Amino acid sequence: MSKGCLFVISGPSGTGKGTVCKELLANKDNNLFLSVSSTTREKRVGEVDGETYNYVTPEEFKRMIGHGEMLEYAVYSGNYYGTPKKTVEKMLAEGRNVILEIEPQGALKVKGIFPDAVLIFIIPPSMAALKQRLVDRNRETEDQIEKRLAAAKWEMEQAAKYNRIVVNDDLDACVCEIEEILRDNAKKRERVDNLLHEKY
Ligand code: 5GP
């Protein structure tokens, strides 16, 4: 069985990457598995422990780092976020395509470990639209929104290091474009695999 592909989706807070990932997962043809990260941030209303994130204490998070259990981790807005190594490796070995929805510091670390990972950066149509989305979803305080907008600037400066940049102006169009990237990647891998098995 061939190994699955690793896809990383990043984008500033409020670009709608969570919704995009949900849509990608809902289409079973994509054969995707979404990795559940661990975080030290507070659980928000509507979030489910073990589904949205695994919520852990800073002590537990540091223990996991110390035991080499994290594929990558980063501090974002004062909280730790990290990807569990074991699950990702297991899913890839089982031939599943894995999606990590993580911020750029972590994404770039992943690219260093898995050079064939496909890094996709989702950008908003405008900064004004991004701010409006953050305000409308009413999840963060004004101060937290300012922090997230400041982080967005640095994050967008990293976009050029990604394999693909996709604008989320229209959800369906954005999901279609990413699905095209997934299919294109699978086709290219198949071609290379076939060449490797060809007699000459
Ligand atoms: P939020 O608090 O809005 O759920 O997430 C804040 C940021 O952390 C988002 O950009 C999200 O993609 C990122 N993030 C979530 N999980 C991980 C992770 O495991 N590693 C890294 N590096 N970033 C993560």
CA pair distance 141, 174, nearest whole angstrom: 28
The minimum-distance atom of ligand 1 relative to the CA of 104 is 22
Q: Are 35 and 98 in contact (CB under 8 A)?
A: yes
CA 70 to chain centre: 15
DSSP string, 65-86: HHTT-EEEEEEETTEEEEEEHH
Per-residue model confidence as pLDDT tens digits over 81-137 = 999 999 999 999 999 999 999 999 999 999 999 999 999 999 999 999 999 999 998
CA of 77 to the centre of ligand 1 (A): 10
Taking CA atoms only, the protein residue closest to ligand 1 atom 11 is 102
Mean pLDDT, the chain, whole residue set = 95
**Residue 103 CB less than 6 A away from ligand 1:** yes
- Pocket perturbation via mutation, ligand 1, pick of 6, 34, 37 by most ligand atoms within 8 A of CB: 37
* Phi, psi dihedral angles at 61 (to 5 degrees): -60, -45
Residue 91 domain-assigned (yes or no): yes
The minimum-distance atom of ligand 1 relative to the CA of 11 is 10
pLDDT value at residue 139:
86
Question: For the ranges 32-36, 77-81, 136-140, 156-160, which has the lowest average pLDDT?
Answer: 136-140
Q: Are 9 and 99 in contact (CB under 8 A)?
A: yes
Domain of 143 in residue numbering reads as 6-196
Residue 136 domain-assigned (yes or no): yes
Residue 1 domain-assigned (yes or no): no
pTM: 0.94
Question: What tokens appear for 22 in the block?
Answer: 């949900």
- CATH number, domain containing residue 151: 3.40.50.300
CA pair distance 116, 111, nearest whole angstrom: 7
Residue 38 domain-assigned (yes or no): yes
Name 101's bridge partners.
9
**Residue 15 CB less than 6 A away from ligand 1:** no
Sequence-distant contacts of 50-57: CB under 8 A, at least 24 apart: 53/81, 54/84
Per-residue model confidence as pLDDT tens digits over 150-177 = 999 999 999 999 999 999 999 999 999 9
Q: Are 111 and 88 in contact (CB under 8 A)?
A: no
Confidence band of 1 (pLDDT split at 50, 70, 90)? low
| Strand-pair category, 79-84 with 70-76 | antiparallel
Residue 54 domain-assigned (yes or no): yes
CA pair distance 158, 55, nearest whole angstrom: 27
The residues, any chain, with a CB within 8 Å of residue 195's CB and separated by 6 or more, are none
Taking CA atoms only, the protein residue closest to ligand 1 atom 5 is 13
CA of 81 to the centre of ligand 1 (A): 6
Q: In the chain, pLDDT over 70 holds for what percent of residues?
A: 100
Q: Which residue has the tokens 């999606």?
A: 99
**Residue 71 CB less than 6 A away from ligand 1:** no
Residue 87 domain-assigned (yes or no): yes
The minimum-distance atom of ligand 1 relative to the CA of 105 is 22
Number of structural domains found in the chain: 1
